[in-house]
Every structure is written in structure tokens, then in C-alpha cells.
Chains A and B, each alone.
Chain A
Amino acid sequence: METKLSDNTRIEDHPILDFPARRVVTFTWEGQELRGYEGEPIAAALHAAGIKVLHTSHKSNRPRGFFCAIGNCSSCLVVVDGVPNVRACTEKLREGMRVERQVGTGPAPRARE
């Protein structure tokens, strides 16, 4: 089981904090396969992969990223497995998640089969 992702946005050495080994999972962003740590917020995994534009605004289609990172502000809404309005900053990453950038209000969620 892989437990270490190295890219230059992940903090490896820190004077105070240790970041314990975690399971690496695979997920997709806009159809592209990416990896992140299981249980970390989707936004953290995307940010580590260099992806900052998570959403576009309702009226002017302006790019939006996360702002508060603790579930207050709704700036980071994404579509997860077809469900819109998921907060990327608090939703935990799972193996096989299909994550897409939300355009405006996003698609109407489809009824579960």
C-alpha cells in the first residue's frame, strides 16, 4: 500500500507538525486521473495537484476556488459522482470519486437508480 505522495506542494519537513502516513487513493478530476490521500478534503488533494479553479460563478462565469476551507462560504462547490453543490473543502476524498468543476448552479442531481 502506497502511503507517500511527493510533489512540491506537500509539506514533508515541518518544525512542529508530523503528517502521518495515509493511504493513497485514485480519483478523477474532469476525467483526468489524479491521486490524493484517503480522507483528506477534496480541495486539499486538488490543490496539491495544482488545481485551483473548482467552480465558476452563476452570473459572470468567473473562476472560483476555495476561500474559507472550513465549509462556511460555498466558494468551492464541485460536482461529485453527479451530485452538485458538494463543498470540496470539507468533503473527504474516497477511492474512485468522480469530481468535476461545477458550472454555476451545476446540473440537477439525477435520481438514484
Chain B
Amino acid sequence: MSVRKTELAIVGAGPAGICAALEAASHGVKTTVIDRGEELGGQLIKQTHKFFGWHKKSAGTRGILIAKKLSEDVRNSENITVLNSTEALGYYDDGTLLVETPQGIDRVIGDRMIVATGASERMILFPGNDLPGVYGAGAVQTLMNAHGVRPGQSVLMIGSGNIGLIVSYQLLQAGVRVEAVVEAMPTIGGYAVHASKIRRLGVPILTRHTIKEAYGKDQVEGAIIWELDDSWNGIPGTEKDLKVDVICLAVGLSPLAELLWQCGAEMAYIPELGGFVPLYDENMETTRKGVFVAGDVAGIEEASTAMAAGRLAGLSAARSLGKVPDDEYAKLKAEILAELEGLRSGPASAKIRSGLAKMREMLQAVQAKELAGGEPRPQGVRGERDCAGSNSEEAVGA
């Protein structure tokens, strides 16, 4: 086992993690990025659609191309070390991040850490939901767009948020039939532009409908859908039998926050942000000093906000390492905050805005309690034990 010391350890090389790394590295921070994938970019590597807004310069760019560009920038940065095909296994009180590389288990010790681990797909309850052929929408996207394999012949999509709508369109592009999109809410969840695209191609979007059951012997052979009444109960007699071999769930994401729980960062359940999320301040720092967050793990949004939040986390980590003068920090931070505010200004972001407001209130309550002399929380990304030594990023045998 070797120990890799670094100024900044970033877990996750999706849009948030990469942007955090690039920002920190641009201020001279020696940064180590850990990602379980072989390629960098996280879920961007399967996003064939164009993004509405990132940096003014990149709006209208396909996710796959953003991933490519960001990976190139990472490779060209001499301050960034990439540990790809490497999983973060756990965070220990002494500041050790245990990682599994293709060569074996190593320790990574960072003076600061950014957790940008993203999210996982949600499941909903219905008989037969465990049959092979019931897949997450992201899984279907990975299979088609990253690996070139069609998930099946005919698909029922559950959920009309942007992911459900976009993946439906991508299924059509791959030559797969989409029987219907069902949506339990009375209105379509995603952007009208995405909904119109698939409707024009003949895919019905059935609001106030849900799946009643999936059936099949060893794998999905069909699905029964039905209409919902005002109390969200299925209406007997409205059942329809769809002969599909794939049922795709686009019913939301949950933050992958295990490392944050292990760190002892204060967490709170905020449904608007997707479940349990860390409390974090305007600098993206959690209540565990030195541990920052960005992207879906801090609240489910989308890649454009993840990239901006990543830059802010990287900037803040760099500042806390003494690498950014105060005036420059204030200027850059104001720019990113303005960008985030812009990205979250539309009616579709009302839920996020309300979730973030709740999160800030909870953070203030925790901070007030601490000021009043409450129980001390763990401080510092490193503990006392076993962490003395230089900040060299070189790997040394241990």
C-alpha cells in the first residue's frame, strides 16, 4: 500500500469534480482526482444532447464534447494527478481516503477534499420492478450511447422529467420504439422543447398515468399502465397492456453521499434537493472544515450548475490553502455566484431555490448552536493521528 499526499483530493471526475480540479489547479493547487471510471467526465460521456447553458461559450454543446474538452484540459494541467479506474472505498477519521486502484489498495491524504460523487438512480415500487428489463434511464443511456447496444425493441418510459424526455428521444435516435411516456403528475415535468421533440415523432406522453405492474417470466414481457385519480390511486378499468421488453425508470436521483456521512459532515433531508444532502456554505464548504462539495451530491440539479458549483468549490479550496488573494477571490466568487443565480433563475428551478433556502436556514441553525457552545463537531479534513508530514503529492511507500 502506498500513501499519496496531495493538497487537494477530489472524489469524482464528473462535470463538478473536473471543473473543481481545473479551477484549483489554475491557482497552483496540487490536486489529485479520483474516479472509478476509465474515462473522465462522469455521466457527460453518454449525454449526446446539447446543453442549454454553461459558460456563455459552451451553451449548445453536446455533453459528450464537453466531457472531451474538460478531459483534455485536465490532461494538460501539470498540477492535476488523475487516479482513474479507482474507487474511493471510505474516509477515515485520520484524514485518509482509502482507494482501490487497478494495482491495489492505496491511501490518499489531502489537505483539503472536495466530494463530487454525484447521484444514483431511484426506483419506484410496483410488482415486477425487479425483473431484468426494468432499467434506470441513465443505464439505458449508458448502454446505447456509450456502448452502442440497444436496450430492447420497445420501451415504456416512466417519468417525464428532462431525463425521461431526453432518453426517450435518444432511444428513438438509436432505432428503438418508445410505446409511451407515463407521468404521475398532471403536467409534464421537463422542458417543453424536449417534450415536443418526442411528441412530433408520435410518442404519447400520458400524464396522470403510472405503471401498475411489470410482467414476464424471467424478464420483462410487458407492462400494465393505468390512470390515477386525484388521490394518486389507480382507477380500475383504465388499465392498458403494453407489449414492451424494456421499462425505463426516470423517476429522479438520490445523492451519493456516503463519504460525507463518514466525514461527519452535517446532513439534512431536503426533498427539493433529492434527499439527504450536506449542509454547505456559500463557499461550498460543509460543516466539516476543509471538506467541500459540488454537483449532484450537494443537491440534484444538472451539469451546467454542477460545473459552476465545481469551479466555486475548487476556488474556495484554493483560497483556504492560501493560494488566492482575497480581492481576486471575491471577484471570481461573485462571477460564479452570478452565473449560478442565472442558471437557477427560471420557473423550472423554483424547487431548487426553495431547497437551497431551506438548506441555508438549517446551516445557520447549526452554526448558531455551535456559537452558543454546543457539542463540538469534528474539525479539519485531517485529524491528529498519523497525518504529520510534508504536503508533497508524490506517492511514498508505507
Contacts and interface: CB of A to CB of B under 8 A. Distances in A.
A69 B132 contact: no
A48 B132 contact: no
A48 B149 contact: yes
Contact of A68 (B36, B120, B144, B218): B120
A57 to B, nearest CB: 7
Given A11-B174, A11-B175, A69 B133 contact: no
B139 A57 contact: no
A43 B149 CA distance: 10
B150 interface: yes
Interface string B188-203: 0000000000000000
A9 B149 contact: yes
Contacts of B143: 43-44, 47, 69
B133 A65 contact: yes
Contacts, number: 90
B138 A70 contact: yes
A34 interface: no
Interface residues of B, number: 33
B207 interface: no
The contact size tier of chain A is 20 to 34
Interface stretch (A15-23, A24-32, A77-85, A102-110): A15-23
Interface of A: 8-11, 13-17, 19, 40-41, 43-44, 47-48, 52-54, 57, 62-73, 89-90
24 contacts: A10-B149, A11-B175, A13-B175, A14-B173, A17-B48, A44-B149, A52-B132, A63-B131, A63-B132, A63-B218, A64-B132, A65-B134, A65-B135, A66-B135, A67-B121, A67-B135, A68-B136, A68-B138, A69-B135, A69-B136, A69-B138, A70-B43, A70-B138, A72-B120
Interface of B: 36, 43, 48, 62, 64, 120-121, 123, 130-136, 138-140, 142-145, 147-151, 173-175, 218-219, 256
